Amino acid sequence: MLLQPPALQAPAPRNIKPMPLAEAEDAVLLAFDEGSPLPSPAVAAAHRPALAWLKANAGPGSKAPANPFPPGSAGHREAAEWLAFLKAPPGEWEPRLQRLSPRLTGTQLALWRWGQAMSLAGRLGPEGRRAFEDRVAASPVEGLRAWALRHALCHAVAERDEGRFARLRDRHGALDGDLFPPYQRLFALLDGPAPLVRLFTLPGLEPKDLSLGELGGRRVWVLPPGEGPLDPLPADVAWIIPAGRGTQDPADANLDGATAPDAEALDKRLRAAGRRAWFAPSRAAFEAFGLIHFPILIDLDGERRIRRIRMGDAAPDHP
């Protein structure tokens, strides 16, 4: 008589050591920033509502998330206050923003996303925008602070508000001092002559050493093209297309092997579309002046001096 083998049993689940909440939140924020699927780190039971709140506010849903905290807890009160804020009419935004003091990373991220969207849509006045920036910039989470400070500094430059820049530097310079020098250089450009850069013609790919005021426009737009048809630009706008890598030595008169294929593909694309632009193979040349985020829109006066710089979060979607 043959003996029957014992029934196979599923292995017992291994004990997974809970991750510290701050580490788990960093993993979620990194995935959010990269546009990757949000992870589900294991955390202690007491921290699960905070992680769920962060993931809900980092997700793509357009509806307000549910409040995951136990009723009566500090987390429940903060989440309820935020959800009530989302239902408030625009006329109440500014006074409510002044009263917000979010402690949860999920609420801070929600405020960042809301404020960035409202600012871009032109639905926040300067005071409301500064209030949302200041609330998020007070976060102990480095990434959230950096996003809020970038937003605030881009707008300070666009508004030529050196007082706002100085206050931000005084408040945050000890912890985030490395963020400020590029914006300081942008203030130095205002009302001065447009800087000289090495660009290549599109089409043609001929090297030219020109100031930004000699490109044929009263405004200069710096942004890579999208994948589809090229958007029309106003006649007074000179378009600079930065290289995808942008690592070429700015002193090189010829395109290097890493940059040439991209430049040649752009040359064919613009030639076929009957369009003209300028190709910038080096980002270092722009970064030296503080021009570090795209898009960039530079307004020039009649004497080719720089009148205004709108960069990154303060730039329009289209010139």
Domain annotation for the chain: domains and CATH numbers:
21-56+71-187 (no CATH), 196-314 (3.40.30)
pLDDT of residue 245: 78
Over residues 45-68, the pLDDT tens digits come to 999 999 999 999 999 977 889 999
The CA-atom distances, in angstroms, between 46 and each of 14, 42, 311 are: 21, 11, 42
More confident residue, 168 or 15: 168
Mean pLDDT of the chain: 92
Over residues 116-167, the pLDDT tens digits come to 999 999 999 999 999 999 999 999 999 999 999 999 999 999 999 999 999 9
Which of 30-39, 243-252, 296-305 has the lowest average pLDDT?
Answer: 243-252
Using only the alpha carbons of the chain, give its radius of gyration.
Answer: 25
Banded pLDDT at 8 (limits 50, 70, 90):
very low
pLDDT of residue 29: 97
At residue 89, does pLDDT exceed 60?
Answer: yes
Place of tokens 């310079």: 173
CA 300 and chain centroid, separation: 25
pLDDT of residue 28: 98
Banded pLDDT at 14 (limits 50, 70, 90):
low
More confident residue, 27 or 258: 27
At residue 94, does pLDDT exceed 50?
Answer: yes
Over residues 214-238, the pLDDT tens digits come to 999 999 999 999 888 898 999 999 9
- What is the C-alpha end-to-end distance of the chain, expressed in Å? 86
User: Which pTM was predicted?
Assistant: 0.91
At residue 2, does pLDDT exceed 60?
Answer: no
At residue 104, does pLDDT exceed 60?
Answer: yes
Residue 275, both tokens: 């369009």
The average pLDDT across 275-303 equals 94
Q: In the chain, what percentage of residues exceed pLDDT 70?
A: 95
pLDDT of residue 258: 86
Banded pLDDT at 15 (limits 50, 70, 90):
low
Contacts of 1 (CB under 8 A, 6+ apart): none
For residues 197 and 209, give the distance between their C-alpha atoms in angstroms, rounded to a whole number.
6
At residue 77, does pLDDT exceed 80?
Answer: yes
For residues 9 and 317, give the distance between their C-alpha atoms in angstroms, rounded to a whole number.
59
